[in-house]
Amino acid sequence: MNLRQLLPETHAARVMAAATLATTTGSGAYVVVAVLYFTRIVGLTPTEVGVGMSIAGLVGLLVGVPMGHLGDRYGARELLIWLLVLAAPVAATTALVTNAWQFVLAGSGLAILERGSAAVRAGLIATTGDGPDRVRTRAYLRAVTNVGLALGAGLGSLALLSDTRIAYVTLLLLNSVSYLAAALILRRHPHAPAIPRTPGGPVWIVFRDRPYVVVTILMAAMAMQYSILDVGIPLWVDRYTSAPNWIISVLFVINTGLVVVLQVKVSRRVESVAVASRVIAISGTVFFVACALFALASDRSVGVAVGLLLLGGVMHAVGELMQAAAQFCLGQELAAERAQGQYQGLSSTGFSLSTMLAPTIITLLPIALGPIGWLILGAILVALGLALLPAVAWASRTREHYADEVTSRASGASP
């Protein structure tokens, strides 16, 4: 395999991949150092930081659909560039924070621009190429995201080793520069024509599409599996197993490596709604197996615990590859083509809500209940995967109806 085969096939996808690498490298560095910077250097309490991040997350939830709608109406490429340009100075203000309310303001402003740009970016991807092209592009971008986050985390670790104000502030400013770099890169992305709205119909057509809303809710709930690795495993290893804590890093490396190497290959096999619905249902069972392996690692010898955790980590990564590929396909192929921005905005909002609630669910189940909690969590993921089968079938049957409704609104037909 030569280098060209590892790159996205289209110019638009290559440009988006380069921009994604820029922003995720900055974000990876920021995530690693933010909490310690604001507590150790600025002097905020852990509670102030936690509450501030929660407020910012809630604010960010509100902008997905509106920003996606604006992308439809005024051009997703141009809006995305402006959001990234605005994000740069807002990100830089994090280095100027000296108290809690400034932290909330800076964090909320950055969350609005980040979540808004994520929604617009998803809408822009959906407007370029046909279904399989879009799914493959999303897969490439997910692999690139993992690479960028790993690079950023590596830079962040250097700042942690230094543990000085100037080291932390340098990475905060690097995050700011990464937005500008992405904006400059995206100037090379093909223009996506705006879709003008003619008065006479509802603005938020996506909320009238009940089947799509149901599918989005179920996929968002299933996305809580991402917190298994971020929240569940570190706490589980530390509190319930005899495995050394370094196994946590090993599981992160395994997950990241498999996503980078295999996400595109898996997504190439999941390029139709029918296949995607089956794959996401199967992924629920794969997650159950992973959860069962994690549960079995409790109260075992060191060697057995490490082996079970490694097997569980691989199974979880396989389920994640399947679930992500299916979600890429379903989120885009079930959306009305003339309103991709707000449809992808709703998907982005659902994912954001999941990332906010999932840590609480993970701590209430396996961490609070022990091994039985892992089995309950796995059973929930199985149920969500199976529930998506009839939900996707319902959405597929009604696609023509909602596509016609969106078209009639755009053309000025009477409701």
Question: What is the rounded CA–CA span in Å between residue 118 and residue 120?
Answer: 6
Question: What is the rounded CA–CA span in Å between residue 306 and residue 285?
Answer: 22
Query: Residues 134, 283: one domain?
Result: no
Asked whether residue 199 is assigned to any structural domain, the reply reads no
Asked whether residue 39 is assigned to any structural domain, the reply reads yes
pLDDT at 129: 62
Domain that holds residue 168: 9-186
Query: Residues 223, 182: one domain?
Result: no
Query: Residues 164, 209: one domain?
Result: no
Give the residue carrying structure tokens 């009477």. Answer: 414
Query: Residues 257, 162: one domain?
Result: no
Query: Residues 109, 139: one domain?
Result: yes
pLDDT at 65: 79
Query: Residues 155, 209: one domain?
Result: no
Query: Residues 114, 145: one domain?
Result: yes
Query: Residues 168, 221: one domain?
Result: no
Tens-level pLDDT at each residue, the chain (415 residues): 444 545 666 788 889 889 999 999 998 888 878 878 888 899 888 788 878 888 888 888 888 878 877 877 777 889 999 999 999 999 999 999 999 999 999 999 998 999 889 888 887 887 766 656 777 777 888 888 888 988 888 888 888 888 889 999 999 999 999 999 999 999 988 877 766 665 544 556 788 889 999 999 999 999 999 989 878 888 898 889 999 888 887 888 888 889 888 888 888 888 889 999 999 999 999 999 999 999 999 999 999 999 999 999 999 999 999 999 999 889 888 888 777 778 888 888 888 888 788 888 888 899 889 999 999 999 999 999 999 999 999 999 887 766 555 555 544 443 3
Query: Residues 43, 172: one domain?
Result: yes
pLDDT at 72: 75
Query: Residues 177, 225: one domain?
Result: no
pLDDT at 145: 87
Number of domains in the chain: 2
Query: Residues 257, 118: one domain?
Result: no
pLDDT at 406: 55
CB-based burial label for 10 (10 Å; 0-12, 13-18, 19+): middle
Cβ proximity of 339 and 203 under 8 Å: no
Say whether 187 sits in a helix, a strand or coil: coil
Asked whether residue 297 is assigned to any structural domain, the reply reads yes
Asked whether residue 269 is assigned to any structural domain, the reply reads yes
| CA distance between the termini of the chain | 53
Query: Residues 140, 226: one domain?
Result: no
Asked whether residue 196 is assigned to any structural domain, the reply reads no
**Is the full-model pTM beyond 0.85?**
no
CB-based burial label for 25 (10 Å; 0-12, 13-18, 19+): buried
pLDDT at 196: 63
Asked whether residue 2 is assigned to any structural domain, the reply reads no
**Which structure tokens are listed for 126?**
């959906």
Question: What is the rounded CA–CA span in Å between residue 305 and residue 325?
Answer: 30
| Domain containing residue 73: CATH number | 1.20.1250.20
Asked whether residue 182 is assigned to any structural domain, the reply reads yes
CB-based burial label for 113 (10 Å; 0-12, 13-18, 19+): buried
Residue 276's identity, in one-letter code, is A
Question: What is the rounded CA–CA span in Å between residue 239 and residue 158?
Answer: 28
Asked whether residue 343 is assigned to any structural domain, the reply reads yes
